[in-house]
Structure 1
Amino acid sequence: MKAEALDGAEDEERSGNSELIQSVVITGQIIEALAAAGQPMRLTALAGQLGEPKAKMHRHLSTLKHLGFVDQDAKTETYRLGLKLVYIGQSAIDQFDLRRLAEPYMSRLRDLTRQTVVLSTPASGDAIINAVVESPNLVTISVRLGYRLPAHASAQGRLNLAFAPLAVQQRILARKLQAFTPRTMVDPAKLRERLTQIRQQLFDVSMDETLLGISAVAAPILNYDNELVGAIAIVGTTQDVHEPVDPEQLKLLRACTKAISLRLNSTAYEGLGIPNLREFIFD
């Protein structure tokens, strides 16, 4: 009876905000931690990362396992995300189609810059190409759908990493970073400085970092919580897209991503002096 009373009290416990139920908050944190880890985790590691007692963490994991949201390896006793979350994730994608929302803005940006425009979405710190609108030029840069851009070596990847949970940033920056070209950024200290800069200016540039001769300038799409849900990049040759960024390209790019972000009720672009261009106003 005492244990049941404690569990009931835990469900009613509030977390700073009177509308938040602490047990639900912890459940969300567990799912996010398992997603960010990129590999199965032990109970002790999860409890330590979230700062919760092991007994309390075990109760949450047992419940999530019962519901199919978490799986446990019988041999190692480690926990990983369950298959049911795959179906839930797909349903979320079906209900929130960022590609469909972004494509009119991407086409307009392509027409204004005459460069290939790419939409990417977050994937554990990296970026995955979700949509491409190719430039009208005779010589054009083609980008393959589903291609995974490295977190440290691309403008879109660094944008995703800049807005990723701290655990994801630490995991990626702790590993050996591959130098794809002589210009690839592989110094963790410099990358950390760059991520701070990205969060302040809301754009990033990469020149010759994954492939010599190819460059990109990218800006984030942010939601109502100012969380990154995607990134739009202008991609071209280093002759057409370069650092320092062409002021007109940057103005158009950030006006584009600001317009999409405003559709998602984001306030992140306010105060940066980025104009609302009529070219990106759609009924």
Structure 2
Amino acid sequence: MATGRPDDGKGARVMATADAGGAQVKSAVRTVELLEYFAGRPGMHSLAAVQEAVGYPKSSLYMLLRTLVELGWVETDATGTRYGIGVRALLVGTSYIDGDEVVAASRPTLDRLSDDTTETIHLARLDGTNVVYLATRQSQHYLRPFTRVGRRLPAHSTSLGKALLATHTDDQVRKLLPETLPALTEHTITDREQLIEELHAIREQGISVDREENTLGLRCFGVAIPYRTPARDAISCSVPVARLTPAHEQMIKDALFDARDRLTLATRRL
């Protein structure tokens, strides 16, 4: 387990500030960082493991954890010695999805795209160096991928992320991503400059492709929704390589372009 404070993928810590002086409110920052630590690591964790990761003094960490347990943001196991994310975090996440205008506006288009392609459909948002899944429609086939709402994946390894990164300038991408990118599979692009070259092609073609770069055996196609510049949301279609034919691939691309145009109209006032 890596040491040091957990990173939310944005390249910056939570910037909670006091009204006077702009100084960070330490307890607020630590609280949010703890919740993000648990959100990014499913399951239960010992106090020692949490302390090793976040680096807080054990006594103050224990008191903070106990407070969060009492408030329902963190849960413990039967022994009371292991900690994980609590149910109140789910309530906040659900509230975010329920209140998001883009998610609401995209529902008819996602439904139609799912019917047209019969494959798994996703709507995701760029969050720092990651994409976060906001909505999904499951494939109608027995062999299908599964991605839950709220999941976070590296932008550079997904069609969704690459479609969104392509709406940024090369310099913006260089500031956002490190020179060496983590590999999720043997096909992941791990060199930032090589990724930037692919982003050039995506800008020209209007569509991105994940060629088993995030999950072996799975190819994904993505398009950004240009209601903002740079774009922050994208939609994708995922299909197992074993089921992908040239004709099916072209149909998916055509359906994604049609869905993009529909969502551009649906979100033009947002």
TM range (shorter): 0.5 to 0.7
Letter in 1 for 2:213: E
User: Residues of 2 paired with 1:169 and 1:256: CA distance?
Assistant: 26
The residue number in structure 1 matching 2:181 is: 177
- Aligned residue for 1:234, secondary structure, equals strand
Tell me, yes or no, if structure 1 residue 206 matches structure 2 residue 233.
Answer: no
Q: Is the 8 A contact 1:37 1:167 kept in 2?
A: no
User: Residues of 2 paired with 1:208 and 1:106: CA distance?
Assistant: 23
Unaligned runs of 5+ in 2: 1-8, 33-92
Q: 1:161 to 1:113 in 2, by over 3 A?
A: same
Q: Is the 8 A contact 1:129 1:148 kept in 2?
A: yes
Question: After the TM superposition, which parts of structure 1 deviate over 6 Å for at least 4 consecutive aligned residues?
Answer: 90-94, 242-245
The residue number in structure 2 matching 1:29 is: none
More divergent stretch after superposition (240-249 vs 107-116): 240-249
Q: What TM-score do you get using the length of structure 1 for normalisation?
A: 0.59
Match for residue 134 of structure 1 among 118, 132, 138:
138
Deviations, residues 132-183 of structure 1 (Å, cap 9, x unaligned) = 1111122322112211121211111212222347676224432431122111
Match for residue 159 of structure 2 among 155, 161, 165:
155
User: Residues of 1 paired with 2:13 and 2:171: CA distance?
Assistant: 13
The residue number in structure 2 matching 1:195 is: 199
User: Residues of 1 paired with 2:110 and 2:183: CA distance?
Assistant: 30
User: Residues of 1 paired with 2:112 and 2:224: CA distance?
Assistant: 17
Q: 1:175 to 1:237 in 2, by over 3 A?
A: same
- Aligned residue for 1:179, secondary structure, equals coil
Match for residue 121 of structure 1 among 112, 118, 125:
125
Q: Is the 8 A contact 2:180 2:191 kept in 1?
A: no
- Structure with larger Rg: 1
The residue number in structure 2 matching 1:13 is: none
The residue number in structure 2 matching 1:259 is: 262
Percentage of identical aligned residues: 24
Higher relative contact order (CA 8 A, sep 6+): 2
Q: State the aligned residue count.
A: 198
More divergent stretch after superposition (173-182 vs 188-197): 173-182
Q: Give the CA deviation at 1:220.
A: 0.8
- Aligned residue for 2:146, secondary structure, equals coil
User: Residues of 2 paired with 1:155 and 1:247: CA distance?
Assistant: 16
Q: Give the CA deviation at 1:245.
A: 7.9
User: Residues of 1 paired with 2:170 and 2:19: CA distance?
Assistant: 29
What RMSD, in angstroms, separates the aligned Cα atoms of the two structures? 3.6
Q: Is the 8 A contact 2:179 2:191 kept in 1?
A: no
Q: What TM-score do you get using the length of structure 2 for normalisation?
A: 0.62
